[in-house]
Structures are given as structure tokens and as C-alpha cells.
Structure 1
Amino acid sequence: MAGRAGALRLLMARGRAPRLLLWLATLLLPPLLLRAGQGCPGHCYCFATPELVQCSYVRLQEPPAELPRGVRNLTIAGGNLTVLRSAAFARPGSGPLPELSLLLLARDNIEAVEERAFQGLPGLAVLDLSHNPLRALAAGAFLGCPRLRTLKLNQALLLLGEAPEEPLAGALRNLSLRRLELAGNGLRALPAAALPDGLEELDLRNNSLQGLSPEELARLDSAPLARLQLHLAANPLRCDCALRPLLAWVRNASWRVPDARSLRCAAPRELSGAAALPLRPEQLGCGAGRAGEQEELETASYVFFGIVLALIGLIFLMVLYLNRRGIKRWLNNLREACRDQMEGYHYRYEQDTDPRRASASPSASPSGL
């Protein structure tokens, strides 16, 4: 191959090679030169070193056998893998691939992922299963991948059933993911039960979410998901009063929804295409309703206050009626005491104003004796 390359260069240097040959050489020689014969599986290309293996559009029916033990990045695109069975990527008879950290399996027509399909990949950190028509996802599909941090399932759950959250929650149990991509899966609700603790980034773009309920927002505010960032662009939000909790949540912590300014209304018709974040409560149809609710609350408060006062008055009257004899006796005693007091004052007044006592001199007493 090196001789052929040298001959081509010689022909081109002498000007005897047509431009078409030059173009073909430029297009075809790099893959041929990068093709490694040592430790590289058939129908694949090992670039630079066996650490990076790429199998592209060769219609593989199963994962390639005899992968290099030191492979770190593996890409299989355009295959027809259909079913990933247990330990599908472990080398037959030679054990696991401890160095493999990046595995890209987009558009490989994968329909089922069985138990422990990725067993033997202890160092796997990034797994991409996007654009595969998954119909079955085993609860233990990702067991044996303790270092898995990024999982991409974009447009992969459309055929998983009406409630893809249940098999997804089972498959993600006991994982320590940091990034989860679920874009383009037609989800109508937040897969709250499927979110692993410690998740830091969740991509829910281009789904069928009309909003998030207070319960779903409470799950996002829980301690295990306190650092989560949520991507919600290209969802058909329904901009009515039910959207207020989500808008309030986004405004209070804008860092949690990096694409908040891209949120658009899909309904009602008069708000179609409008930016959701700047909308006020009265634009969401909550103004009149809130005023009516406030008036009803005030009326109910006044009624309740009147009932309480009536009960207090009734209790007071009952106490007076039951103690009427004692109250009468107490009033009589009080009246007698007041009368005695007044008589004492009256007697003293009469004594002090008697003119005979006032005209009597103190020296008349001894002469009378």
C-alpha cells in the first residue's frame, strides 16, 4: 500500500495523473491507510491506535467480536443489532473490556436490551442509544456499569408503550447518572420516578409536555435533585392558569432551566407562539378567577366571624340565665353595701354642718362642770 501511494505521488509529480485520480486518491487513501490489521475486527476501522474503533454503516447483525482489549471509544452506526443480549460487548473467551468508556450505538435498529447487556464494561461512562426503536428495556439492562454517568435515549422510547416511565425507572434504578437525555420521546409527563438521585442535567426537549404539576416540581425541588438543570424547549406548553406553578418555579431559579427564554405557548390559540416566561397571571386567565376567589374568601371570612360572635353571645346569655339567682343576690348585696356607704356619708355630712356644734367653744365645757 505504501508502494501504491508512492507511485501515485510520483505520477502526480510528473503531471501524468488526471484530476479525477487525484480526487479519488484523496478520498480513498486515508481510510485505507488508517485501517489497522492488528487487533481490529473485520468491517471496522481503528483510527490512529486500536483505542478508537468505529464501525459505520456496515449492517452489523451483532456487536463485533475480538475487539482490542485496550479499546476506549467504540462507535457502531447504521447497524442492525436488533437485540443486545447479556454481555453483548464482552470479548468471547477473553474477558471484559476494562478501558471502554465511550459507546455510541445510535441508529442501530436496536429493539430490545436484555438483562446485563453491558456486563463486562466496568469503565463505561457514556452510552448513546438514541434513534433506536426500543420495544423492550429490561430492568437490569445497565447492571454492571457502575461508572455510567451519561445516558442518551433521544427518540428511543416512542415504541416502549403508553407509560415508558415504568420500564425506564426500573432500568435506571441504582445508577449514578449525571446527565440523562430523553429528547423527542413524546413524553406527556415528567418521568419523576425514573430520575436517579444526584442527576445534574435532564434533557426533555421536543416532547409533549404541556406543563409541570406542583407534585412534579416538588420532586425537582427535593434534596437528591437540588442541582438538576432541566431543558424544556420545543414542548407544546398550554399557557393557562395551570402553568403558573412552572413559571413561578422558573423565575425563582432561572439557572435551573437554561433554555427558559425559548419556552413557547402552543395553546390557547390567542397565545400560540408567544414566549411563556414574560406572561402575567391575567394573561393566563387567572386574574378574574383570582379576584372571584378572593371575594369568596372574604365573604366566607365575614360569615364565619359572624357565626363565632353569635355563638359567643349565646353562651354569654346562657351563663347569665343559669346564674340569675346568684347574680340577683350579688346585686342586692351590692345595693345594700352602697346604701350603707351612702348613709355613712350622709350622717357625717349632717354632723359636720350642725350650727350648734359649730358655735360651741372649747372653753365652755369646764365652766359647766
Structure 2
Amino acid sequence: MGRKQAECSTKVSAEGSSLVAWGIVLLLALFPRTYACPAGCQCSEGTGGVQCRSLEVPPDLPPWTRNLTVTGGNMTVLRAGFLEENGTAPENLTALVLADNGVQVIEPQAFKGLRVLAVLDLSHNALVSVASSAFWGLGWLQTLRMSGALRDGMLEQFSLALLNGTLEGLRELDLTNNRLQEVPMAVLQLPDLRVLDLRHNWIQALDATTLAGLHRRRRLQLSLVHNPFVCDCHLKPLLLWLRNGSQCKDAQEIRCSSPPRMNTSFILRLKTEELKCINEDLETASYIFFGIVLALIGVIFLMVLYLNRRGMKKWLNNFREACRDQMEGYHYRYEQDADPRRGNATGVGGL
């Protein structure tokens, strides 16, 4: 009997434990766990948005976070896998905004673990160093915003990071307010890029190589307004490209910055013959000056001939008389040599 009672009590306890477990599961299903919003942040579980204004990324982000915005911080360095390092990398994070955080250095594989990240905003930072593999692992990235983030001399590092990153799906690139003087050629090698924003830079013209690259990427849309374009002879290829294509979205709004006579003029309203360089004007002026000098020399020569016309006439007469005397002498000797009788008489006299 004792053994049976023990078996019964064991079964009862096992059944009770299973009931408790099922009860806990039921409670969790009916009352799902809620996650507290990190301090200094605003959260919206319905949209998956978390907006924070803090010195660094909070370490206790809810797992449902899809859109994370951290601004006004002091994140000088983005270390390798900086979100994974603190265990704060949500698996479904699709948008990460780190604008205006004083970021200066991006280390290799800084965004490691963000496999489905589609939007990355690093605008208004002060980047002085970007590792060549900084964007590694962002195969799903579609939008990259770098407005006002690249300091002088950063174009080469950034271009290398674009080429070495797994950014085959990147469709939109914002490079406004970066003092760029040319279109980064690495950008034209991104296979799926559709939108390139280069407004508010220091671009003065587009060379033939850049225009050829853009011509090959016919699906790429460009924005170029608010650049200090110099409307001289070097702008002719750009003017022809703007007129013959539709890749520049704001072509109608692009204006000249210099020379002063063309300041604020709309580029598309200019005529090709108006685009002249200083050296071309100097060359034209030099030809005109050379022609004037030759004309003066010719006039002076004619005046000398006119003033000495009597002497020239006398000299010509004397020259003509000398030539006549010379020709008569030749003619006389020819006649003497050609007469056979004078030859025979000379022979008889000699005998």
C-alpha cells in the first residue's frame, strides 16, 4: 500500500507541475511581457520606433525596436559591432539614425549584426577616419545619409569604404554639404544606386570622365543645385549633358557662380558660344594684335616705297639698262660664234 500511495502522490505532483506550467504559458499569452522604455527615450511599440537623446545608445532597448534614433550624444568612436557589444542590437532593426552625435571615427565592421538594416543616417557628424570595412555586413542597406559628415580629405577613405562594403543594394546616397569638388567615382560603381544628392557642395564643373560614367548609369538621378559652377569653356560638356539628358532632377534650377557677368544666370539658358575662358580671350587678342602689327609693317613698307619712288625708278632704269647691255653683249658673241665664214677665215689666216 505504501508503494502505491507513493506512486499516486508522484503522479499527482507531476500533473500539478504540468498544470502550473500550462498556466504560466496561458498567463504569458494573455498578458504578454511589457518592456520599459529606456530613460531619456520616447518609444512607440506599435511602430517600433525609439527616439533617444543621450550620450550613447541605451543598453536596454526593447526587442521590438525597428527604428532607432539617437541624437545629441557624444559617441566619438563607433567601435566594431558597437550595438552587439552592449547586447542592444535588435534583430529586426531596419532604420538607425545617429545624426549630430559628434562621431569622428568609424571602426571596421562597426555595424556588425544589423543584417536587415535598410536606412543608416550619419549626417552632421565630424568624421575624420572611416575604416575600409566600416560598412561591412550591410547587404540590405538601401539608404545612406552622410550630409555634412565628411571633413576635408575624407573622400578617399569614404570611397574605399563604399567599395569594400557589401552595399550592392544601396539605392539612395545623400552627400550634401560636404565641400566635395568632384563626384566620387566610387559612387558610380554602386550597381543599384538610383538617387545621388550632391547639393550644397563645391563642384565647379563635371569632367568628361565623370559625364561618361553618368551616361552609362542612365537610371541614376542626380541633384546638383547650389554648387559654385564656373560658367567658362570647361562647362560646355556639362551644358550639353544637361540639355541632352534627364538624369539631373534640378537642372532647371542650376545657376552660375562666376564669372561676375554671369553670376546667378541659369546654366540651361546660356548659349555655348557664351562659355569662354580667359586664355581663349587672350589668344584671340594676341591674334588680333599680331594682325595689327603685320598691317603696320605693310603700311610702313609701302610708305617707304612711295617716298623713294624716284630713286626706285632711277634704280630700276639703271638696272634695266645694265641688263640690256649685258644681253646685247651675249647676243653679239653668239652671232660671231654662230657665223661659219668667220670661223673659216680665222682658219685661213692662221695658215
TM-score (norm 1): 0.63
Q: Distance in 2 between matches of 1:37 and 1:64?
A: 17
What SS does the corresponding residue of 1:89 show, helix, strand or coil?
helix
Q: What is the total number of aligned residue pairs between the two structures?
A: 247
Contact 2:97 2:121 survives alignment (8 Å): yes
Partner residue, 1:167: 157
**Residue type of the partner of 2:160?**
G
Partner residue, 2:97: 104
Residues 171-320 of structure 1 mapped to structure 2, 5 A cutoff:
171-173=161-163, 174-176=166-168, 177-195=170-188, 196-222=190-216, 225-253=217-245, 255-285=246-276
1:201-246 deviation per Cα after TM superposition (whole angstroms, max 9, x unaligned): 1000000000100011111122xx2311110000000001110101
Are positions 1:141 and 2:138 aligned together?
A: no
Residues 38-117 of structure 1 mapped to structure 2, 5 A cutoff:
38-49=35-46, 51-56=48-53, 58=54, 60=55, 62-90=56-84, 92-93=86-87, 96-117=89-110
Contact 2:123 2:147 survives alignment (8 Å): yes
Contact 1:200 1:229 survives alignment (8 Å): yes
**Aligned-residue RMSD, C-alpha:** 2.4
TM-score (norm 2): 0.66
**Residue type of the partner of 1:233?**
V
Partner residue, 2:115: 122
Alpha-carbon offset, residue 98 of structure 1: 2.1
Contact 2:124 2:146 survives alignment (8 Å): yes
Alpha-carbon offset, residue 43 of structure 1: 2.3
What SS does the corresponding residue of 1:76 show, helix, strand or coil?
strand
Cα 1:207–1:81 change in 2 (3 A) is same
What SS does the corresponding residue of 2:269 show, helix, strand or coil?
coil
Contact 2:160 2:186 survives alignment (8 Å): no
Contact 1:190 1:216 survives alignment (8 Å): yes
Structure 1: state its 5+ residue gaps.
Answer: 1-35, 294-369
What SS does the corresponding residue of 1:277 show, helix, strand or coil?
helix
**Residue type of the partner of 2:66?**
R
Alpha-carbon offset, residue 103 of structure 1: 0.8
Q: Distance in 2 between matches of 1:269 and 1:37?
A: 65
Identical amino acids, percent of aligned pairs: 42
Contact 2:108 2:136 survives alignment (8 Å): yes
Q: Distance in 2 between matches of 1:76 and 1:281?
A: 49
After TM superposition, what 4+ stretches of structure 1 lie above 2 angstroms from structure 2? 39-43, 47-50, 90-94
Alpha-carbon offset, residue 71 of structure 1: 0.9
Partner residue, 1:302: none
